[in-house]
Amino acid sequence: MASLIASPPPTRIGIVGSGFISRGVAQVIHAAGMRVGPVLTRRPVDSDFRFPVPATFTNEVEELINNCDLLLECSGDPIHATEVVDLALKAGLPVVTMNAEFQVTTGSWFADKGILTEGEGDQPGCLAALRREVLAMGFEPLVYGNVKGFLNHHPTRSDMEFYSSKQGISVAQTTSFTDGTKLQIEQAFVANAFGADIYRTGLLGPTAESIEDGAETLAGVAEIHGSPISDYIVLPGSPAVFIAARHDSFHRPYLSYMKMGDGPFYTLTKGYHLCHLEVIKTIREVLDRGKDGILMNNSTAPRMSVAAIAKRDLTVGELIEQGIGSFEVRGEAIEISSAPDHVPIGLLSRARVARNISRGQTLTLNDVEIPDSMASDIWSKLMAQSKIQAA
């Protein structure tokens, strides 16, 4: 006899963004027995989105928020994400992001205003998951490391258009990956999340022959520095993240026997980050455990930011349509206290150059006219808070 008790409706996951990652995530959500809630897009809702599962598309944030149980933000746009996350948290929705750009720009403002976490899958989230394992085994992290296969601070537009077409992602995304901006954002975010330092502006990023070789180099720096650091190595062909750590000397013979080396530094590695396939783990954690399912956020008191650095000479009146992934600027991780008037690259959207800027110069708030937005207002408040805390 069939049960008379109705099954609960499937959990509705609303998605912010309708691009490459969103399409992949939608299929994973559907396969997990959940329902793809509305998808917030800034394109016309009758566009050909090529989604692999049924989905409703909307340009209205309210429609998204009113018809989902959890929000997944993966737009890559920190200014847009700020406004959506603000409304979602005010409505009591848990928010999972795959948007380090948002987290490192304004995420700290929201870190204590509800359930907000970066998801596992991109490098920061994978480092957070690896960190949990490392700490559970009694290791003491020294380096939170990313691996960059290729780096070119000044790629040409034609090259970026070619690889954008080949990889199926936007020119801006391709450029931010290639010029190192995305990497700098991720490692500044990681530093804030775990209370680590950056050793110098722009990070060290040594070229290495292996992950273990690069990890040991950076661990030596962290040891001398006296505090854990967030950094990266350049190693072609590897999509890994790693943590270089110490352990109690008692365990050295055991770790040696288990092929971890003779110490004093040990490298623990995750050899992949599978973005859309892994974020479902964080979604489930948040749905099952609420605040206890939070993986990482930018902390309520960030010490690191990502400054905009001119890629070329910029003249008064020029328009920077979008900072991240542009041919005008790139990003470098920076300690906020060392340059409190720097321009966070995430705020550069339709910004007008107010003073002539030389190639390689760090942009300040006096150098550009930044349009008013919730994100720029929040940044000002965060900086005011940091001055009070430092006093």
335 belongs to a structural domain:
yes
**Residue 70: closest CA among 49, 97, 43, 102:** 97
Q: What 3-state class would DSSP assign to 330? A: strand
CATH number at residue 335: 3.90.1210.10
Total-model pTM: 0.95
Query: What mean pLDDT is reported for the chain?
Result: 95
Q: How many domains does the chain have?
A: 3
Tens of pLDDT along 266-293? 999 999 999 999 999 999 999 999 999 9
298 belongs to a structural domain:
no
Q: Which residue has the tokens 């490459």?
A: 20
207 belongs to a structural domain:
yes
229 shares its domain with 326: no
250 shares its domain with 169: yes
3 belongs to a structural domain:
no
Percent of the chain with pLDDT over 70: 97
Q: At what angle do helices 275-289 and 123-136 cross, to 10 degrees?
A: 60
349 shares its domain with 284: no
CATH number at residue 48: 3.40.50.720
Q: Do residues 78 and 188 lie in contact, with contact meaning Cβ atoms separated by under 8 Å?
A: no
pLDDT at position 9 is 79
Tell me how far apart the terminal alpha carbons of the chain are, to the nearest angstrom: 71
Tens of pLDDT along 177-205? 999 999 999 999 999 999 999 999 999 99
pLDDT at position 237 is 87
228 belongs to a structural domain:
yes
Q: Is 178 exposed, middle or buried (0-12, 13-18, 19+ CB in 10 A)?
A: buried
Tens of pLDDT along 33-89? 999 999 999 999 999 999 999 999 999 999 999 999 999 999 999 999 999 999 999
360 belongs to a structural domain:
yes
66 belongs to a structural domain:
yes
pLDDT above 60 (res 2):
no
22 shares its domain with 47: yes
**Residue 296: closest CA among 306, 286, 304:** 286
- For the chain, counts of helices (H) and of strands (E): 13, 15
266 shares its domain with 315: no
**Residue 330: closest CA among 361, 354, 302, 356:** 361
180 shares its domain with 63: no
252 shares its domain with 338: no
235 belongs to a structural domain:
yes
* Domain around 76: 12-121+277-293
pLDDT above 70 (res 140):
yes
134 shares its domain with 267: yes
Backbone torsion region of residue 341, taken as left when φ is above 0, otherwise alpha when ψ lies between -120 and 50, otherwise beta: alpha
Q: What 3-state class would DSSP assign to 242? A: strand
Q: What is the mean pLDDT of residues 305-319?
A: 98
Element (H, E) at 308: strand 304-310
239 shares its domain with 308: no
79 shares its domain with 109: yes
137 shares its domain with 101: no
Neighbours of 37 (CB within 10 A): 26
pLDDT above 60 (res 1):
no
154 shares its domain with 103: no
Neighbours of 63 (CB within 10 A): 16
Domain edge (last residue) among 258, 293, 328:
293
